[in-house]
Copies of this chain bind each other. A is one copy, B any other.
Amino acid sequence: MAGDQPLVLVVEDESAQREVLAYNLEAEGFRVARAADGEEAMLLVAEDRPDVIVLDWMMPRLSGIEVCRRLKLRPETRTIPVIMLSARTEEVDRVRGLETGADDYVVKPYSVVELMARVKAQLRRVRPASAGVRLEFGDIVLDAETHRVSRAGRELKLGPTEFRLLAALMERPGRVWSRESLLDRVWGRDVYVDTRTVDVHIGRLRKALTRHGGADPVRTVRGAGYALG
């Protein structure tokens, strides 16, 4: 709570996944605290007062559900937003059913772009100053919170994948993303999808962006990937 940058607590027992998460959060400019299980998490919460908690559901010792429940009991920790990670859709339903009070849910394998957007969205609730939920490029505006995209004031209809793809591209306009890193960021880490699929979705995104006129803002860099502008 004290520092410049928001502090995100990552609670995940599997070290590889924990580090991937931490890596991406740090790349976004957050400070990161790590916990490998629920008990460690409770200690760190008391100690460091994180601004957001990303919490794995399935963990040894103290499960994510239990951690969440305990946090929401105490007034001084009740307001810290919790984003729950779980492996399957059914589990999300179950977690919801348990009324743990988590503020958001993300299903594994998650898209990095999406998770970052949700972390930012939660932060914005608590710290209205933190920016980044609203991305702009030229006359294109993307609002991660409301999941809406408009161009020149006109609302655009995008599918979920096209939305995340555009969000990834808008995150750093001009930067060239390889098909592989787009797959990584937009589709998710453990999904094995043909790289040509990226081309198809880029095509769909282009069609949506230019439906009502306007130049194609997506640049193809032959042999390298795609970029915005």
Residue of B nearest to A81 (CB): B16
Residues of B within 8 A of A222 (CB): 159-160
- A184 to B124 alpha-carbon distance, docked (Å): 10
| Known A104-B16, A114-B192; contact A146-B181, beta-carbon cutoff 8 A | no
Q: How many chain copies does the complex carry?
A: 2
Contacts of A19 in B (CB 8 A): 103
Q: With A16-B104, A99-B15 given, is the CB distance from A125 to B23 under 8 Å?
A: yes
- Which single member of B105, B147, B192 contacts A176 (CB below 8 Å)? B147
Say yes or no: A101 contacts B180, CB within 8 Å.
Answer: no
Are B180 and A145 touching (Cβ within 8 A)?
no
Q: Check B145–A174 contact: CB distance below 8 A.
A: yes
* A145 adjacent to B15 (CB under 8 Å): no
| Complex alpha-carbon distance, A13 and B149, angstroms | 45
- The interface on chain A, measured as residues whose beta carbon lies within 8 A of the other chain's beta carbons, has a size of 42
CA distance in complex: A193, B114 (Å): 10
In Å, the complex CA distance between A176 and B96 comes to: 36
* A34 sits at the interface (CB 8 A): no
**A148 and B120 alpha carbons, distance in the complex (Å):** 31
Q: A113: CB under 8 A from chain B? A: yes
A129 & B192 in contact (Cβ 8 Å cutoff)? no
CB-CB contacts below 8 Å: A140-157 with B: 145-148
With an 8 A cutoff between CB atoms, is A77 at the interface?
A: no
* Contacts of A173-229 to chain B: CB distance below 8 A: 174-176, 178, 180-181, 184, 189, 192, 221-224, 227
Residue with the highest number of chain B CB atoms closer than 10 Å, among A16, A105, A125, A224: A16
Instruction: Please determine whether B101 and A15 come into contact, CB atoms closer than 8 angstroms.
Output: yes
Query: Is the pair A178, B104 in contact by a Cβ cutoff of 8 Å?
Result: no
> B145 near A175 (CB under 8 angstroms)?
yes
- Interface status of A165 (Cβ within 8 A of chain B): no
Closest to A177 in B: B129
Asked if A14 lies at the interface with its beta carbon under 8 angstroms from chain B, I say yes
Would you list 8 pairs from A and B whose C-beta atoms are within 8 A, ordered by A residue? A15-B103, A16-B104, A120-B180, A121-B184, A124-B184, A146-B227, A147-B176, A160-B224
